Structure 1
Amino acid sequence: MIDFHGVKIPAIGMGTWHMGSDPGLYDQQKATLQYGLHHGATVIDTAEQYGSGDSEKIVGDAMKGFPRQKIFLISKFLPYHATKHAMADALDRSLERLGTDYLDLYLYHWPGGTPLAEVVNNMEAMKKSGKIRHWGVSNFDLSDMKELLSVPGGHDVMANEDLYNIGSRGLDYEVLPWQRKHGIPLIAYAPVDQADTRGNGIIKNTTLEKVASEHHANAFQIMLAWVVRDDHTLAIPQTDSQKHMQENIDAAKIKLTDDDLKALDKAFPKPTHKQLLDII
C-alpha cells in the first residue's frame, strides 16, 4: 500500500485504455477487471476519452456488486471540457456511465487553452459538490506543474499522471525530483511500455531477465516493481488477461535490492538532460 495524500491505496491498480469497445472482448475484459477488484487491485483508472465513454461503461459494469467504498476510482476530462459548465456536464456523464455518484480522483487529461486558475477553481467547485473527492492533472511537464502551483488552490493537486517506465525515464531528470520535493505523487501510465502483448523488446534485456530470475518473477513484474520502488508512485498497467492481472498484483510484493537498482540503472540509464514529455 502507498500513501496518496493520506489515502491508502495499492501501488498497482488497473488501467482501462482500449477496454469496453470490442464486443468480442467485452466479457473477458469485464471478468479481468472483476478479478482484479477481488484480488486487491482496487484502483481503477479510466477517462471519458477512452472509447468515447466505453471504458467508463465497462468499469461501471465491472464494479456492480463490489463495495464502492473499497474502490479508488479515477477518471479524466478532456481539455475542451475544462470550463465550469462543460466540466460539470462532463462529470455527470462520466458518473452516469460509471454508475456511481462520486469519483475519488478527477484528472485534467492534458493541458488545454482554459487558464489553469479557472480549471482549478472549477475542480474545487466539483469537490465542494461532493461529486469528486480529489482532483489532479495528467500529461503535465515541469513547467505545467510549476504554473499549477502558482495559481490559487493549485497546491491542492493530488497527483500528476504521466507516462513512465524503465525504458522511458524522462521524468527522472526533473519532473519526479520536483514532485517528490513538493509531495505530489505520480501516477505512472504505460508502466510496462504498452507491453501487454508480451512482445516488447525491453523484456529481452539480459539485466532485466537476470533480476527477474533472482526474484522468481518475469520481466514485466520487475518493470512494475521498478516503477513503484519509491512508495510514492501508483502504476496502472492495463491487461485483458486474468493471469497477467495476478502477475501485476504480485509484482507489488517484489522488493528490489540496492544491487538490483544499480544494475537496472546501468542497463537503463537515467537521462542526463531535459527530454520532451513522452505521451501516447
Structure 2
Amino acid sequence: MKTVTIAGRKLPAIGIGTWHMGDQNRLREQEIAAIRAGVEAGARLIDTAEMYGNGRSEQLVGEAIKPYSREDLFIVDKVLPTNASRQRMERSLDRSLKNVGTDYFDLYLYHWRGMIPLSETVAELERLKQTGKIKAWGVSNFDVADLEELFNVVGGKNCQANEDLYNLGNRGIDYDLISYQVQHNLPLIAYSPVAQGDSLGTNLTSNQVIKEIATNHGVSPYQVLLAWTIRHPQVLAIPQTSNPKHAKENILAGEIKLTSDELAAIDTVFPAPKKKVGLEML
C-alpha cells in the first residue's frame, strides 16, 4: 500500500474525511461504522474540523475512535480563520480536543486564510506546538502565492502539509502548486478526491476510459479516481463516505498502481490545465 510521510509519520496514502458527517442522527451508527471500517482496513489519518457541523463531526470522530489506541491514529483538525488569532486559537483548540476526546492532535490546520496576519497565526501555532496540544501544524486552501508568503514568515517553514481540493474534475493545482510543494517537500492532503463522482458537469465514474481501467484492475471507478489522485509520491487523499463497504474499498484503492498508459489515457479525456487558474475550493 502506498504511503506518505507527514510530520515524520509514515501513513497509508488514503485517509478518512468526515465533512458532512455527524449532522444526521439517523445516520450516526452507520457513520461510526464507516469510520471504523476504514481504520480496520488500514487507514490511520482521520480528518475533521471545528467547522464541520459546528463540532458534530469532531464528536462523531471521538466516538468512532474509542476502540482504538490513540497512538495508532493520526488525527487532523482545523481552526477557522476567525479563531486563528493569539487571543482565540487556544480556546478553539481546547474545544476541539474536548469534542474528539483526545489530549492532542497530530496535525492542526489553518482552515483557510482570513483577516488575521499570517505572522500572528503562525506564531500561535508554534506556541501551541510547544504545549504538546498539537504535534505539528499545517494549512488548508493555500495556493502557491500563499505558501510563498507563509515561508517568509518567522516559523512558516515548519508547516507540515497543505490540504486542498484535488480530484480528476478539479485539477487546477496540477499547473504549478503540486510541483511547488514537491520542490519544498510539503505533502498535499487532497480533499473531495472523488468529487462525489461528478464534477464540473462531467460524470467521472461513468466515463468509458475510467470504467475500462476499473474493469482491468477488478475495482470500482471510484477506486480508480482515488488511485489517480494519489499517483504523486507526496499526495494523501481523504475520501468521505457513510457506507462501511465503501470505506473499506476507499482504503484498498491505495494498493492500485495505474500504468503510464492508463495515466496517459486519463489525461487525454481529462487534460491537465495549460494555464494558471484560481484555487478551487468547496
* Deviates further, 249-258 or 31-40: 31-40
CA-CA distance at 1:5 after TM superposition: 4.1
- Listed as ranges, the matches of 1:35-184 within 5 Å are 35-184=37-186
Relative to structure 1, is the Cα distance of residues 239 and 210 closer, same or farther in structure 2, using a 3 angstrom cutoff?
Answer: same
* Alpha-carbon separation, structure 1, partners of 2:54 and 2:193: 23
* Alpha-carbon separation, structure 2, partners of 1:66 and 1:204: 37
Deviations 1:48-99 (A, max 9, x none): 0000000000000111121000000000010010111300000000000000
| Cα RMSD for the two superposed structures | 1.3
Is 1:76–1:106's contact at 8 Å kept on the other side of the alignment? yes
Secondary structure, aligned partner of 2:78: strand
- Structure 1 residue runs of 4 or more that deviate by more than 3 Å after TM superposition: none
Structure 2: tracts of 5 or more residues without a match: none
Residue 87 of structure 1 aligns to which amino acid in structure 2?
M
What does residue 18 of structure 2 align with?
Answer: 16
What does residue 31 of structure 2 align with?
Answer: 29
Is 2:197–2:205's contact at 8 Å kept on the other side of the alignment? no
* Alpha-carbon separation, structure 1, partners of 2:9 and 2:25: 35
Identity of aligned residues (%): 49
TM-score, normalised with respect to structure 2: 0.96
Residue 111 of structure 2 aligns to which amino acid in structure 1?
H
Structure 1: tracts of 5 or more residues without a match: none
CA-CA distance at 1:179 after TM superposition: 0.7
* Alpha-carbon separation, structure 2, partners of 1:94 and 1:116: 21
Residue 241 of structure 2 aligns to which amino acid in structure 1?
T
Is 1:135–1:157's contact at 8 Å kept on the other side of the alignment? yes
Residue 173 of structure 1 aligns to which amino acid in structure 2?
Y
What does residue 272 of structure 1 align with?
Answer: 274
Q: Number of paired residues?
A: 278
Residue 260 of structure 1 aligns to which amino acid in structure 2?
E
TM-score, normalised with respect to structure 1: 0.97
Is 2:209–2:265's contact at 8 Å kept on the other side of the alignment? yes
Secondary structure, aligned partner of 2:88: helix
* Alpha-carbon separation, structure 1, partners of 2:105 and 2:218: 37
Residue 262 of structure 2 aligns to which amino acid in structure 1?
D
CA-CA distance at 1:35 after TM superposition: 1.6
Residue 166 of structure 1 aligns to which amino acid in structure 2?
L
- Listed as ranges, the matches of 1:200-215 within 5 Å are 201-215=203-217
Is 1:11–1:231's contact at 8 Å kept on the other side of the alignment? no
Secondary structure, aligned partner of 1:133: coil
* Alpha-carbon separation, structure 1, partners of 2:38 and 2:256: 18
